[in-house]
Structure 1
Amino acid sequence: MAYQDEYADCSWVDFDLLESFMKDCLIKSGVPEKDARVVTDVLITSDKRGIDSHGIGRLKPIYIDRIDQGILNPVTSIDVVKETETSAVLDGNNGMGHVVAKTAMEMAIEKAGKHGMGMSVVRNSTHYGIAGYYALMACNAGMIGITGTNARPSIAPTFGVENMLGTNPLTIGFPTDEEFPFVLDCATSVTQRGKIEMYGRSGKELPPGWVIGRDGKTRTDTQQVLKDLTTGGAALAPLGGLGEEGAGYKGYGYATVVEVLSAALQGGSFLRDLNGFDEEGKRIPYPLGHFFIAINTEFFMGLETFKRIAGAIMRDLRSSQKAEGEERIYTAGEKEWIAWNYRKTRGCPVPPVLQKQMQELRDRWKMDYRFPWD
């Protein structure tokens, strides 16, 4: 089976154990228990859905290390800057992005419940995990959910080589009459840093066309690319690829849309101001912006009608003629549902690099955890 080959060097960790471990690590880092549960739920949801780039793999380098560096506030304080019946502007004060984001989507859903639509925007937040988590919140409420976030500069504009835009996902989810909702959660770049980190942990070179160097040529040297993405020596290609032949201008355009919606409505930071360094090269917070939209289907033709038609569209797509040699056609959210059904009795695959990180965190705080590889 493909899963068995892909995770041959991994140890499988029970989800309850992994969730408890991540929560306790966050609490040891100064995150209040209530907030630690929120952050952990976002991370474990990623691992459960097979999105290995944004689960346990992000715990240490993106959250705990940044708390240690003083550029991420473990205690989250949220200010309501402005609010109307259908909109809200929030300031996350560089706290835990997951906590800020969940609050913002809850507000959007509540407003949509009363008025048909709700939108919340956030400034001065931080990395909020998988965007699909917040779209799923709306799906679970019987609504359409839309969210996006800017990020530290990674993508070069079409015909450019400097990393200017973040990977800027434009994420949409909606309920269907099937066992799983439609959730399109992907970056507006060909790939994103989390996927490159996975290649690095596996010792693999990158496919050509994912990354461009300052000389305009494609880069495949994974470990050096990870360093150069931070310093500006390399940039990700926008969705569609380099230049215009593969329609890279479309990914560039969508990334720009997300950048504007993540900054202009809330008076937030953007582009180079998100690079995480001051003029002297000292690390500073990444003051990210997000947006959240909830659309109540009951204010249109009703939830059941929406789910029935949405489901029919998915089934028609999957039953259409397949290319020669292909076994099946998927719709967005289906592979994540398949991953969960495979993993729910097995747990989360943890490769050797992450095993080492987990051991380091356990030893640092002298926590009483035993892992399968001990």
Structure 2
Amino acid sequence: MAQNNETVYAHFDEMHEFMCQAFIAAGVPPEDAKVCADVLIESDKRGIDSHGVGRLKPIYLDRIKEGIQFVKTNFEIVRETPSTAVIDGHDGMGHVIGVRSMNMAIEKAKKCGLAMVVVRNSTHYGIAGYYALMAAKENMICFTGTNARPSIAPTFGVENMLGTNPLTIGFPTDEEFPFVIDCATSITQRGKIEHYARINKTMPAGWVIDGKGNAVTDPNIALKGLVAGTCALTPVGGIGDELAGYKGYGWATVVEVLSAALQGGSFLKTLTGINADGSHRPYHLGHWFIAIKIEAFTDPGAFKKTSGDILRELRASKKAEGQSRIYTAGEKEYIAYLDRSKKGIPLNPAVRTSLEAARDEWKVKFTFSWEK
């Protein structure tokens, strides 16, 4: 049995099975529960601990319990053409909405060359990179993004207005892993701050600012402030425009517009998830998915060879003093996958406590490996 202060490792299958059972216990249909678990476990497999099993209870199960996320997903096609679609997710399971929407974009792109599917009234859809991986497996390029509850302050501002709004791009290469750039348009995202709070670690200065524009380094203060509106994340580039914070601000705005304007969705302060009386409500998030069929432009093999050559040349370029290697997007995640395939997913005491609480609350009959 694990000690209270140690990190333990759990196999992919164990965590996937538990999440499936927990979602089913909460009322999610079994087929949809598997989709949700697939998206979450992919995050842990790739070393993205901020978006994996640690979010099962606080982000998904707790919202289901509050009634602000619905277990049965009503996937409504509002408008459709051969290469486009507008979807209303009716605040169902974001992972299910995301996977169905990405699959729709892929199938349309197979016929038309390019396709775009946009979504309104959805919920958190996990790591955006999951959908890029789906497209890469089909020899397609993917662009996807989602808005989120307000977190980022505009450059020269201190009020949290924009979500962390990932701008994600992926495509296949001739290497063992695709190129996937999946990151927030803020310097960091709320999930990483939650991770720092769980491990009781101070954040780097510059990630979060208070109402006067001063850096906040205590993750617990930051999390409370982000909810209360007294703290905000900084955009990629950081505070002000000296290091080009306006670039991250601009990219976040692009994602916000594409997540709301095409589908008639909610945006900015309407995504707080909080009513005027302080009660919680659905977040009504928007997503968008673009799939591009490589074969419509060139031979997929040639595309993957050129892409791979570019990435290999970048990694082989001259390194800074003291640095052993250069990485390209998707490489670190692939390395993490190889390592975790052998060792398992690292679970610190806070995450284990959260998983045990979820099991007990939803009366899931499950014994974790660390309890044996």
**Scaled by the length of structure 1, what TM-score is found?**
0.97
Deviation at 1:206, TM superposition (A): 1.1
What SS class does the counterpart of residue 17 from structure 1 fall into? helix
Residues 182 and 333 of structure 1 are in contact (CA less than 8 Å); yes or no, is this contact kept in structure 2? yes
Q: Where does residue 218 of structure 2 map in the other structure?
A: 221
Q: 1:158 aligns with which of 147, 152, 155?
A: 155
Distance in 1 of aligned mates of 2:180 and 2:363: 39
Distance in 1 of aligned mates of 2:6 and 2:300: 44
2:160 counterpart of 1:145: no
What SS class does the counterpart of residue 169 from structure 2 fall into? strand
Residues 29-70 of structure 1, C-alpha deviation per residue, up to 9 Å, x if partnerless?
110001000000000000001100000011001100000011
What SS class does the counterpart of residue 291 from structure 2 fall into? strand
Residues 11 and 372 of structure 1 are in contact (CA less than 8 Å); yes or no, is this contact kept in structure 2? no
Distance in 1 of aligned mates of 2:82 and 2:41: 33
Deviation at 1:84, TM superposition (A): 0.2
Deviation at 1:282, TM superposition (A): 1.2
One-letter amino acid of the counterpart of residue 199, structure 1: Y
Residues 145 and 174 of structure 1 are in contact (CA less than 8 Å); yes or no, is this contact kept in structure 2? yes
What SS class does the counterpart of residue 367 from structure 1 fall into? coil
Distance in 2 of aligned mates of 1:108 and 1:133: 14
One-letter amino acid of the counterpart of residue 219, structure 1: V
Residues 69 and 282 of structure 2 are in contact (CA less than 8 Å); yes or no, is this contact kept in structure 1? yes
Q: 1:182 aligns with which of 179, 183, 200?
A: 179
One-letter amino acid of the counterpart of residue 22, structure 1: M
Unaligned runs of 5+ in 1: 1-7
Deviation at 1:278, TM superposition (A): 1.2
Residues 79-136 of structure 1, C-alpha deviation per residue, up to 9 Å, x if partnerless?
1010001000000000000101111111110111001001000000000000000011
| Percent of aligned positions that are identical | 60
Deviation at 1:143, TM superposition (A): 0.3
Q: Where does residue 120 of structure 1 map in the other structure?
A: 117
Residues 144-180 of structure 1, C-alpha deviation per residue, up to 9 Å, x if partnerless?
0110000000000000000000000000000000000
2:276 counterpart of 1:279: yes
Deviation at 1:205, TM superposition (A): 1.3
Deviation at 1:371, TM superposition (A): 2.1
One-letter amino acid of the counterpart of residue 338, structure 2: N
Q: Where does residue 73 of structure 1 map in the other structure?
A: 70
Q: Where does residue 370 of structure 1 map in the other structure?
A: 367
Deviation at 1:372, TM superposition (A): 3.2
Name the Cα RMSD after superposition: 0.9
Residues 303-335 of structure 1, C-alpha deviation per residue, up to 9 Å, x if partnerless?
111100000000000000000000000000000
Q: Where does residue 5 of structure 1 map in the other structure?
A: none
Q: 1:9 aligns with which of 6, 10, 16?
A: 6
Distance 1:202 1:75, change over 3 A: same
2:83 counterpart of 1:86: yes
2:314 counterpart of 1:293: no
Q: Where does residue 4 of structure 1 map in the other structure?
A: none
Q: Where does residue 194 of structure 2 map in the other structure?
A: 197
Q: Where does residue 233 of structure 2 map in the other structure?
A: 236
Q: Where does residue 45 of structure 1 map in the other structure?
A: 42
Deviation at 1:367, TM superposition (A): 3.1
2:214 counterpart of 1:208: no
Distance in 1 of aligned mates of 2:17 and 2:219: 32
Relative to structure 2, which stretch is displaced further, 277-286 or 36-45?
Answer: 277-286
Q: Where does residue 254 of structure 1 map in the other structure?
A: 251
Residues 26 and 362 of structure 2 are in contact (CA less than 8 Å); yes or no, is this contact kept in structure 1? no
Q: 2:126 aligns with which of 108, 124, 129?
A: 129
What SS class does the counterpart of residue 258 from structure 1 fall into? helix
Residues 264-296 of structure 1, C-alpha deviation per residue, up to 9 Å, x if partnerless?
000100000000111211100000000000000
2:70 counterpart of 1:103: no
**Scaled by the length of structure 2, what TM-score is found?**
0.97
What SS class does the counterpart of residue 45 from structure 1 fall into? helix
Relative to structure 2, which stretch is displaced further, 364-373 or 166-175?
Answer: 364-373
Q: Where does residue 22 of structure 1 map in the other structure?
A: 19
The size of the alignment, in residue pairs, is 367
Deviation at 1:370, TM superposition (A): 2.3
Q: 1:264 aligns with which of 261, 264, 270?
A: 261
Deviation at 1:9, TM superposition (A): 3.4
Unaligned runs of 5+ in 2: none
Residues 73 and 90 of structure 2 are in contact (CA less than 8 Å); yes or no, is this contact kept in structure 1? yes
